[in-house]
Chains A and B, each alone.
Chain A
Amino acid sequence: MAALAPIDGPAAVSDWLSGWRAGPGDGTVAAADWLAPARAAAAGRFAAHGLPNRRVEDWRYTNLSRLTGLELDWTPAPAEVAKESLPALVFGREADCRLVLVNGQVRPALSTVPALPAGTLLTSLADALAAGRQDVAALLRERVAVDGGALKALNDSWLEDGYVLIVPDGVTVEMPIEILSVGTGGALPPAYQPRNLIVAGAGSRVTVVEHHVGLCIGGYFANGVTDVAAGPEAIVRHCKVQDESKEAIHVALLDAALGRDAMFDSFCFTLGGGISRNELRVSLDGPGAHCRLNGAYLVGGQQHCDHTTAVDHAAPETHSDQLYKGVLDGRARAVFQGKVVVRQDAQQVEGHQMSRALLLSETSEVNTKPELFIHADDVQCSHGATAGDLDAEALFYLRSRGVPEGQARQLLVEAFLNEAIDAVALAGMRLPLERNVARWMAERHAT
Chain B
Amino acid sequence: MAATAQTVAQVRDLGSKYKHGWETEIEMETAPKGLNEDIVRFISARKDEPDWMLDWRLKAYRHWLTMEEPTWAMVDYPAIDFQNIYYYAAPKSTEGPKSLDEVDPELLRTYEKLGIPLKEQEVLAGVQGAPRVAVDAVFDSVSVATTFKKELESHGVIFCSISEALQNHPELVRKYLGTVVPYTDNFYATLNSAVFSDGSFVYIPPGVHCPMELSTYFRINAKDTGQFERTLIIADEGSYVSYLEGCTAPMRDENQLHAAVVELVTLKDAEIKYSTVQNWYPGDENGKGGIYNFVTKRGACRGDDSKIRWTQVETGSAITWKYPSCILQGDNSVGEFYSVAIANNAQQADTGTKMIHLGRNTRSRIVSKGISAGRARNTYRGLVRMGPKAQEGRNFTQCDSLLIGDRCGAHTVPYIESRNRTAKVEHEATTSRIGEDQLFYCRQRGIGEEDAVALIVNGFCKEVLQELPMEFAVEAQKLVSISLEGSVG
**Chain A residues engaging chain B, CB cutoff 8 angstroms:** 57, 344-345, 347, 357, 359-389
Contacts and interface: CB of A to CB of B under 8 A. Distances in A.
Nearest to A384: B428
B417 A379 contact: no
Contacts of A385: 414, 416, 425-427
Contacts of A372: 401, 410-413, 429, 431
Contacts of A369: 413-416
Nearest to B72: A57
Give 4 closest A-B pairs by Cβ, nearest first.
Answer: A388-B424, A377-B403, A387-B418, A368-B416
Contacts of A387: 386, 416, 418, 423-425
Given A359-B420, A365-B418, A385-B416, A375 B409 contact: yes
A388 B403 CA distance: 32
Nearest to A60: B415
B432 A370 contact: no
A383 B410 CA distance: 14
Contacts of A379: 403, 431-433
A365 B428 CA distance: 20
A382 B425 CA distance: 17
A213 B72 CA distance: 39
A386 B421 contact: no
Nearest to A372: B412
A383 B426 contact: no
Most buried by B among A367, A382, A388: A388
Nearest to A358: B421
Most buried by B among A364, A378, A386: A386
B407 interface: yes
B414 A386 contact: no
A371 B382 CA distance: 11
B344 to A, nearest CB: 14
Contacts of B433: 377-379
B384 to A, nearest CB: 9
A361 B413 CA distance: 28
Given A374-B401, A374-B431, A366 B418 contact: yes
B430 A381 contact: yes
Nearest to B410: A374
A365 B429 CA distance: 22
Contacts of A360: 421
B429 A370 contact: yes
B357 to A, nearest CB: 12
Contact of A367 (B410, B413, B417, B428): B417
B422 to A, nearest CB: 6
B324 to A, nearest CB: 20
27 contacts: A359-B420, A359-B421, A360-B421, A363-B388, A365-B418, A365-B419, A367-B418, A368-B414, A368-B417, A370-B412, A370-B427, A370-B429, A372-B401, A372-B431, A373-B411, A374-B431, A375-B408, A378-B406, A379-B432, A380-B432, A382-B429, A383-B428, A383-B429, A385-B426, A386-B425, A387-B418, A389-B424
A396 to B, nearest CB: 15
Chain B interface category by residue count: 35 or more
Contacts of B413: 369, 371-372
Nearest to B408: A377
Contacts of B411: 371-374
B409 A384 contact: no
Contacts of A381: 430-432
Nearest to A345: B406
B406 A347 contact: yes
Contacts, number: 117
B404 interface: yes
Contact of A362 (B415, B421, B431): B421
B246 interface: no
Nearest to A373: B411
A65 to B, nearest CB: 19
B403 A384 contact: no
B406 A376 contact: yes
Contacts of A375: 408-409
Contacts of B409: 373-375
Nearest to B380: A372
B205 interface: no
B211 interface: no
A388 B425 contact: yes
A294 B432 CA distance: 23
Interface string B332-365: 0000000000000000000000000000000000
A59 B412 CA distance: 19
A423 B398 CA distance: 26
Given A344-B406, A345-B406, A380-B432, A370 B414 contact: yes
Contacts of B404: 377
A374 B413 CA distance: 11
B405 interface: yes
Given A378-B406, A386-B425, A389-B422, 6 more contacts: A359-B418, A362-B421, A368-B416, A374-B401, A384-B429, A388-B421
Contacts of B429: 370, 372, 382-384
A422 to B, nearest CB: 22
A370 B417 CA distance: 12
A319 to B, nearest CB: 15
A360 B430 CA distance: 29
Most buried by B among A365, A383, A387: A387
B377 to A, nearest CB: 9
Contacts of A367: 415-418
Contacts of A368: 414-417, 427
Contacts of B428: 382-384
Contacts of A383: 412, 427-429
Nearest to A353: B429
Contacts of A370: 412, 414, 427, 429
A388 B416 contact: no
A389 B386 CA distance: 13
Nearest to B436: A378
Contact of A386 (B401, B403, B408, B424): B424
Contacts of A382: 428-431
Given A370-B427, A379-B431, A389 B412 contact: no
A384 B404 CA distance: 23
B73 to A, nearest CB: 12
Contact of B421 (A57, A345, A361, A384): A361
Contacts of A373: 409, 411
Nearest to B391: A362
A379 B413 CA distance: 18
A386 B406 contact: no
Nearest to A370: B414
B376 to A, nearest CB: 11
A372 B377 CA distance: 13
A376 B372 CA distance: 11
Nearest to A357: B418
Contacts of B424: 386-389
Nearest to B378: A374
Interface string B366-404: 000000000000000000001010000000000001011
B431 A344 contact: no
A385 B416 CA distance: 8
B417 A365 contact: yes
A370 B430 CA distance: 12
A276 B165 CA distance: 55
A389 B391 CA distance: 11
A389 B423 CA distance: 7
B421 A389 contact: yes
Interface string B49-89: 00000000000000000000000100000000000000000
